Amino acid sequence: MDRTIGIDYGRARVGIAVSDPLGIFASPVETVPSAKIIDYLQSYAAKENLVRFVVGYPLNLDGRPAEAAADVDVFLKKLAKAFPAVPVVLEDERFTTVLAHRAMIDGGMKKSERRDKNSVDKISAAIILQSYLDRQAK
């Protein structure tokens, strides 16, 4: 089945989300330590057909790359080397953490669960991916 992977890359952790086979819905999957992300994606690719990566790209409010963009740029080079045949799309990730917290509150998550940064990262990845999927559907 074809899958698009959403990635919220961070220096310590990476949130992962995946599309359904039809490319309509994004679902949060897991949070992986940054040092293990390529291994995780290679293992995932052994089970599913990856058709695209959608990577959140940190931008300032004025649209210029944020300081964290340098870390994402390094990751993008590693991703391209490990998956040369899989296209990568960059998606503006401004406000995804705020939206993730709002989704957790609206979903009824307890305050103690909302403090778990792993949950925030994978939900942020799902928001990044869903934003891309919604634009493609138009």
Domains detected in the chain: 2-137 (3.30.420.140)
HSE, CB side, 13 Å, CA atoms: give it for residue 64: 2
Res. 112 pLDDT band, cuts 50 70 90: low
Q: Please name the helix (run of DSSP H) or strand (run of DSSP E) that holds residue 133, with its range, or none.
A: helix 117-137
Closest CA to 12 of 28, 29, 33: 33
Give residue-wise pLDDT tens across range 29-87.
Answer: 999 999 999 999 999 999 999 999 999 998 888 888 888 889 999 999 999 999 999 99
Residue 48 identity (one-letter amino acid): E
In Å, what is the CA distance from 45 to each residue of 1, 33, 42, 110?
A: 11, 18, 5, 34
Q: Which two tokens stand for residue 84?
A: 């040369």
Provide the sign of the torsion angle of the four alpha carbons 33, 39, 43, 44, taken in this order. positive
Which backbone phi and psi does 134 adopt, to 5 degrees? -65, -40
